[in-house]
Amino acid sequence: LSGWSNYKFSSIEVITILKVLIGSKVLRKDEMQGIMRSVRMMLHQRAAGRVNSVYAEVDNYISPVHGKAILKMLEDLNRVISKRLKIDLHYIKGNGEQVTKRVLPLIFIFSDFYFYLIAFIDGSGYKYPAFLELTELKALMLLTSSTAKNCIKPIMPVKCGSACNLCMPENC
């Protein structure tokens, strides 16, 4: 990927990216606006006027009902996945039942208008990982290394606010 640091998007590339994001309806308005600002900085100056109508769509964008900070959740999960750490997930099943499961996250994906965490569930007996919808998560708890002697700290508050941080073993 050398040479990408100077790459500028064309107007149709920006329009396509923003239309896909707007159509997904998965991110909060403030997250959409942040992405819009970032993408705008990657746009050729001469093409900026051609995407104004899409910027207006983002201004009129309505946040999803879940109201969760998906980008922060994805950032935290990406850190956990890259370090191959287990977490406890507190989530709500389709029938409304609240459940806590210990999992080893593998990856997150976007499919059919939802982000999913793909993870192995401890003690499930299944050979294959489970797909867990991120908007159903209520809290994530990081399980640190054995040297931390069962230190468990929240990486996402119960209400899934946007100010969540990972607890690393050295902070326990």
Q: For the chain, what is the HEC assignment?
A: CCCHHHCCECHHHHHHHHHHHHHHCCCCHHHHHHHHHHHHHCECHHHHHHHHHHHHHHHCCCCCCCCCCHHHHHHHHHHHHHHCCCEEEEEECCCCCEEEEEEEEEEEEEECCEEEEEEEECCCCCCCCEEEEHHHEEEEEEECCHHHCCCEEEEECCCCCCCCCCCCHHHC
CA dist., res. 50 & res. 56, Å (int) = 12
Q: Which residue has the higher pLDDT, 55 or 156?
A: 55
pLDDT tens-digit series, residues 110-136: 998 899 999 999 988 888 999 999 988
Q: Are strands 114-121 and 98-111 parallel, antiparallel or unpaired?
A: antiparallel
Give CA–CA dist 172/161, Å, rounded. 22
Q: Which of 52-56, 95-99, 155-159 has the highest mean pLDDT?
A: 95-99
Closest CA to 72 of 33, 27, 38, 120: 27
Contacts of 141 (CB under 8 A, 6+ apart): 87, 88, 89, 90, 152, 153, 154, 155
Q: What is the CA radius of gyration of the chain?
A: 19
Mean per-residue pLDDT for 80-88?
91
pLDDT class of 165 with cuts at 50, 70, 90: very low
CB 57 within 8 A of CB 97: no
Q: Which residue has the tokens 């920006």?
A: 14
Write the CB contacts of 147 (distance below 8 Å, at least 6 apart in sequence).
169
| pLDDT at 54 > cutoff 50 | yes
